[in-house]
Structures are given as C-alpha cells and as structure tokens.
Amino acid sequence: MGNTNLNIRTDKEVKAAAEKIFEQLGLNMTTAVNIFLRQTIRENGIPFELKLHIPNDTTSAAVKEGRRIARDKNEKGYTNMDDLKAALDL
C-alpha cells in the first residue's frame, strides 16, 4: 500500500489544542488522523471519541467528599452489606 500526503487547514489554536491531547494519549497528529480515517472506513461513518478522563465538578466533589469521609474516624462505617442496607432502610 503506497503512502500519500493529506493537507488540511485548521486554526492554529485548534491544531495546538489537539496536539496537546494527542501527546497525552501517546499519539502524534499523523497517527491520530490515520486512526480516525481507518475507523471511519470500518464503521462507515464517524466512529468514536478519544478523550482524556477528566471528571466533571460533581464527580470531583463526590470523590473529595468520599476521601474526607474515609479519613474521618467519627464517620459511621459498615463492614457488611446487611448493616449498610439496614442503615439505608432497604
């Protein structure tokens, strides 16, 4: 299979932001575009999203609260599901 060049135009800011994400994913622009093109062919359409796992504000707050509770010796804890269900009236 022979190679060919693909020239595209995009905003400088878009390119820089994408390159930063691709770098964090261990990819360069060429590899990322080739992944997209090959998967597009396999799926016969726009195939997937590649994104970093960055929790939203609600999830971040819940994790922070869970860590606080885990460190707090005064918080009630449960060692089995039956006790937890009873506390939750389930």
**Which DSSP state fits 87?**
H
Residue 26: which region, alpha, beta or left (left: phi > 0; alpha: psi -120 to 50)? left
Rounded to a whole number, what is the distance in angstroms from the first to the last CA of the chain? 62
Q: What is the pLDDT of residues 28-64, one digit of tens each?
A: 999 999 999 999 999 999 887 778 888 999 999 999 9
The residue type found at 83 is D
**Which DSSP state fits 45?**
S
Per-residue confidence (pLDDT) for residue 29, from 0 to 100: 96
Domain boundaries, the chain: 57-87
Per-residue confidence (pLDDT) for residue 4, from 0 to 100: 94
Per-residue confidence (pLDDT) for residue 38, from 0 to 100: 95
> Which residue in 15, 29, 21, 16 sits closest to 51, CA to CA?
21
Q: What is the pLDDT of residues 63-87, one digit of tens each?
A: 999 999 989 989 888 889 999 999 9
Spatial distance between the Cα atoms of 22 and 24, rounded to a whole number of angstroms:
5
